[in-house]
Structure 1
Amino acid sequence: MSKRFARWVPRMFAPDQKLTRLETSTLLAHFQADPASFFWRSVTQDETWGQHFEPQSKNQSKHWKNHGSPPPPKINQVAPVGKVMALMFWGTEGILVIDYLQRSQAINGAYCASALRQFKEVIKEIWTGKLRAGMLLLQDNAPVHMSQEAVPEAASCGFELLPHAP
């Protein structure tokens, strides 16, 4: 007999979670059907927090000095004014849309649905071919993305929601 160490695994999945991961692997079938089109049609949506800064302009940092004296030091560290929530859509072309939430606004299903409508209008102006080809939208499993308002809105906008593993 010998002593064996247990192997570390990041997470033990339940049977239904394993089944969901298996269903998510259908993305490979999408990719194999047309690899170039898959990446071109794919768009990812996510939210992130960012620091809001109000830096000094060049004119604001001017000081009167004598000709022989050294210039005043300019310290780049500016205290953040606050945090800002940004909702972003990006694809192979880079960032397509950034929407900053107002300070008192909460991200919920209704807001997510309106953001999808806004995104569709922007895509209509810039890339009409993407809408005709059928856009593939990848979101995480956040409750606001899977809400009763957001999922039907994504379908009505013509986006095919890609499954996301838990």
Structure 2
Amino acid sequence: MMCESDNESENNSSAHISVFEQRAYIKIETIRGKTVPEIHAALNEVCGTDTVDRSTVQRWHQRFRDGRISIDNNPRSGRPSTVTQDNTNAAILATLLDEDRRITVREIENETGISKSSVHRILTEILQKRKIAARWVPHFLSPEQKDTRKDICRELLSRYENEKETFLDRIIAIDETWIRDFEPELKSQSNIWKGITSPRAKKVRRQQTKVKQMMIFAFDKLGIIVTHRVPIGSSVTGDYYKTFLAKKLLPEIRKKRPGMLQNGVSILHDNARPHIGAPVVALLEKYGWERLKHPPYSPDLSPPDFDLFPKLKEPRFPVFPT
């Protein structure tokens, strides 16, 4: 290899292995049958901090295995010769993003030689890109489940358009969640104003308590109707949930929402097994309460999961004292 060793480079600080020279080495070693870790280790041994990232080695290794010959960046075809440098660089960056959506600004800088500030400007201003994390979802919906979700949403929206606020007045949303006895405050919550010469405040890092308890919440458009702590060691079964509806929720509706029972109650809860079991279905039929449809695996359409629980669990100190 034409690169100098680390010891030699200490004596010759002007030695620098360019990105294109490293690509040439990747191409040679790929043809020789070397693996990505082997190639990257050899480059790192000789080039030190100038070494391209392993992901860059991986991309070019794959390109050369697929038959690529050139070590140059892909030109943008069909562009006039008067195209600006920014547009040329934008085309290069767009190609890299098409190949790897997770590529970092630093990796792009190492691979193309474009400065980090220019890479960031082109990505955000010219290509109109922004990097975001994938949104966690509880379940990938099948096409049939997506259709069901759409149909239920349309049905609920249609009912609201026809019945207006009287439809919302009847809805009671119910769900369970784990509540911890102590939630540590966020670092930002301990921010204080200080002078130039003032020492920086310190605080001991505290962990979430392992003590937690299941709680059931029932609320409507006016607010919380009832909260219930499930005894530690117990679980919410169909029979337990039925008892909650009969012994906890019903009395509180009579107490806090006079007239709701006469106007009709619509229960909105998810499709957890305790909620849709035979004991609960029989009780709802006995009371004449409607059970609103809820799409499977759709917590974003559940008022507790979407609105109540995230606000309830915002770090405070303490959240629920023991």
| TM-score of the pair, normalised by structure 2 | 0.39
Alignment partner, residue 149 of structure 1? 279
Greater RCO structure (CA 8 Å; 6+ sep): 1
Is 2:222 the counterpart of 1:93?
yes
Q: Matched residues in 2 for 1:44 and 1:82: separation?
A: 26
Is 2:155 the counterpart of 1:26?
yes
Residue in structure 2 matching 1:127, options 239, 246, 257: 257
- For 1:153, what is the secondary structure of its paired residue? helix
Alignment partner, residue 315 of structure 2? none
- For 1:28, what is the secondary structure of its paired residue? helix
Alignment partner, residue 64 of structure 1? none
**8 Å CA contact 1:51, 1:81 repeated in 2:** yes
Which structure: larger Rg?
A: 2
Deviations 1:55-100 (A, max 9, x none): xxxxxxxxxxxxxxxxxxxx8x697361010001011111110010
How far residue 125 of structure 1 moved from its aligned partner, in angstroms, is 2.0
How far residue 110 of structure 1 moved from its aligned partner, in angstroms, is 0.2
Amino acid at match of 1:32: E
- For 2:218, what is the secondary structure of its paired residue? strand
- For 1:105, what is the secondary structure of its paired residue? coil
**8 Å CA contact 1:131, 1:158 repeated in 2:** no
**8 Å CA contact 2:180, 2:209 repeated in 1:** yes
Q: 1:91 to 1:20 in 2, by over 3 A?
A: same
Residue in structure 1 matching 2:212, options 77, 80, 83: 83
Q: Matched residues in 2 for 1:102 and 1:48: separation?
A: 13
Q: Matched residues in 2 for 1:17 and 1:89: separation?
A: 27
How far residue 35 of structure 1 moved from its aligned partner, in angstroms, is 1.3
- Structure 2 unaligned blocks of 5 or more: 1-97, 99-133, 183-203, 297-322
Q: 1:14 to 1:104 in 2, by over 3 A?
A: same
Q: Matched residues in 2 for 1:14 and 1:29: separation?
A: 23
Deviations 1:125-165 (A, max 9, x none): 22231111101110011111111111211222232100001
Q: Matched residues in 2 for 1:51 and 1:124: separation?
A: 30
Amino acid at match of 2:239: A
Q: Matched residues in 2 for 1:107 and 1:45: separation?
A: 13
* Counterparts of residues 36-115 of structure 1 (less than 5 Å): 36-53=165-182, 80=209, 82-115=211-244
Amino acid at match of 1:45: I
- For 1:140, what is the secondary structure of its paired residue? coil
- Structure 1 unaligned blocks of 5 or more: 54-74
Q: Matched residues in 1 for 2:224 and 2:210: separation?
A: 24
Q: 4+ runs of 1 displaced by more than 6 Å?
A: none
Q: Matched residues in 2 for 1:155 and 1:52: separation?
A: 37
Please state which structure has a larger fraction of its residues in strand. 1
**8 Å CA contact 2:225, 2:256 repeated in 1:** no
Q: Matched residues in 1 for 2:273 and 2:180: separation?
A: 24
Alignment partner, residue 160 of structure 1? 290
**8 Å CA contact 1:42, 1:91 repeated in 2:** yes
How far residue 12 of structure 1 moved from its aligned partner, in angstroms, is 4.6
